[in-house]
Amino acid sequence: MGTYSDFYRRSVDDAENFWAEQARLIDWQTPPQQILDASRPPFARWFVGGTTNLCHNAVDRHLAERSDQAALICVSTETGQERSYSFRELHAEVQRTAASLLALGAKRGDRVLIYMPMIAEATFAMLACARIGAVHCVVFGGFASGSLASRIEDAAPTVVVSADAGSRGGKVMAYKPLLDEAIRLSKHKPAAVLLADRGLAPMELVPGRDHLMRDLAAQHRDTVVPCVWLESTEISYTIYTSGTTGKPKGVQRDTGGYAVALAASIPHIFGGRAGETFFCTSDIGWVVGHSYIVYGPLIAGMATLLYEGLPTQGLDRQPDGGIWWRLVEKYKVSVMFSAPTAVRVLKKQDPALLRKYDLSSLRALFLAGEPLDEPTGRWIAEGLGVPVIDNYWQTESGWPIISIANGVETQASKFGSPGLPLYGWRVKILHESTGEELTEPGQKGVVAIEGPTPPGFMQTVWRDDVRFVDTYWKSIPDRMVYSTFDWGIRDADGYFYILGRTDDVINVAGHRLGTREIEEVISGHPKVAEVAVVGVADALKGQVAVAFAVTRDGQGSAALEGDIMKRVADQLGALARPARVHFVGALPKTRSGKLLRRAIQAVCEGRDPGDLTTIDDPTSLRKIQQLIAA
């Protein structure tokens, strides 16, 4: 295939021919008539005139060669259940769900909101929407009623698909009452609700509106539902991401461009092959779950492992820090995708668990969601004995922007860096005030992307083109470029380092410091397991850094605080030294593992921490409040 630099250069200098080749990785009912239409920047339309279907590419096209191969492996350590579906069985289940949705009035172009735990039925529902041309909008299971209501109102779904309950750490969370309240609060009222009954929580059904999945599936047991061939540029789904205002921001994705982007990413980036198993530990409520639990692996003809439970919980619902590695051995996982936060949790477990299971099938562990600190990266790489590959992307991008494409050419990873710009992405470091490109190694600026953006990137904000342009493409002066809102630097070899959000910068006595840089130094202390650093308002200096650290042994002391402060001062200078290092038992995070730094900062400054519906453990923030008050 040649060198990666040649591959990359062709992808940006000869984009249309490059992506025309990648488009052969999927099935088209009608071939594209125009590879790229970039006539209306910043909107890029890919594979114009082509018709395809995501469900056909994920399921139907594999029936001829691998109908009996495992396609969907469902493991729940919350219920102690394990079930595998072959491509043939998945095809049948998806058709039953598709027939159920059609019977409830959903059709091409209609929205179907999915609010579900990590169970097989959630995957059936997503693929069924793709099959009939409906636009799915997956909302993370367990979102509070107010947040769910705003998404129902914005998406205006014909049907909502949900379940009686989810479970986390053995604690059952009833979804149905949350959903009922959300529908009551929403101005939009869906015509029908389709429910999976797991037997975890009682449900009251609303006559005429609510229907049980098993009842409709039984009615449509043998119904044949053909795939609806969609224009490449038709919407496949919307997914909500955080915004600077309270109004939900629906990232809108196309069909053909997304299918091609995922199909290309499996061999080029992840090194996956048909017949193997892909294990992504994310959630279908997040973009990583859309791309690399559901669509990506299945399009590639791989089995995908859907996991419900904690990384330290066995199938017998007892503590087991080796459960993921047991699943890697059992299902011969070749590619695993997780998050640095999960690895930090595992870091507290017995290291012998990494050597207890046969992990010979595993070729690489990919991590994303937040920057990977070097101590965590080294620990897991040495423990597993396989490459640990960081990758950087966003809900908006749909697939990785920066990583190492070992499927094209084997290249070295560098701890602390997600890697090099991936094919198709024109990634720049720009000065935030002047828009000037910063080309010297080590110069810090905003990570930005020049258009036209590659296939798979968001089309727009759902029903709001103006917001799409104003939010993402107009924040850098005199340049129409996409801002990631992340700070970054590039080294002499072209490797990028992400230094945190542009709004995570603190200004200490006129000096700009990235909290990410301070966290990196503190997390390297042998006694620190995890850390969050926030900027807190200070009458003298404008802001000061305050650190919240979780220690390995659960013990903190004045001596350790002094040691950490000295470490930061020695490595980054006295200005970066935290005003305080508080020791806590846990850091507040979302259920997907992202640290809630803004909420911590608000608490430190005596402000309202805002919407905490995504927080995994509310007591962690309350304890910080008590600590600050004391």
Predicted pLDDT of residue 192: 98
Predicted pLDDT of residue 246: 53
Verdict on whether the full-model pTM lies above 0.85: yes
Q: Give pLDDT < 50 ranges for the chain.
A: 244-245
- CA dist 285 → 37, 167, 245, 294, 320 (Å): 31, 15, 20, 11, 25
List 192's β-bridge partners, or say none.
159
Residue 221 CB burial class (10 angstroms; 0-12, 13-18, ≥19): exposed
Longest distance between any two alpha carbons in the chain, whole Å: 72
One-letter amino acid for residue 282 of the chain: S
Residue 516 CA to residue 505 CA, distance in Å, equals 9
Predicted pLDDT of residue 611: 66
Copy the structure tokens of residue 29.
């009912």
Q: How far is CA 186 from the centre of its chain?
A: 27
Tracing tokens 């409040």 back to the chain, one arrives at 625
Predicted pLDDT of residue 244: 46
Predicted pLDDT of residue 360: 97
Query: Kind and range of the H or E element at 486?
Result: strand 482-490
Strands (E) in 552-604, as ranges, are 580-583
Strands (E) in 372-473, as ranges, are 388-390, 402-403, 420-421, 426-430, 445-450, 460-461
Domains of the chain: 12-472 (3.40.50.12780), 509-629 (3.30.300.30)
Copy the structure tokens of residue 394.
């966003």
DSSP letter (8 states) at residue 260: H
Residue 365 CA to residue 386 CA, distance in Å, equals 7
List 508's β-bridge partners, or say none.
511, 542
Q: Tally the C-alpha atoms within 13 A of residue 590's C-alpha that lie toward its C-beta.
A: 22
- CA dist 150 → 113, 146, 173, 240, 618 (Å): 12, 6, 20, 11, 22
- CA dist 149 → 37, 188, 329, 385, 542 (Å): 36, 9, 42, 46, 38
Predicted pLDDT of residue 509: 66
Torsion region of 261: left, alpha or beta (phi above 0 gives left; psi -120 to 50 gives alpha) = alpha
Predicted pLDDT of residue 242: 66
Residue 201 CA to residue 224 CA, distance in Å, equals 32
Residue 374 CA to residue 372 CA, distance in Å, equals 6
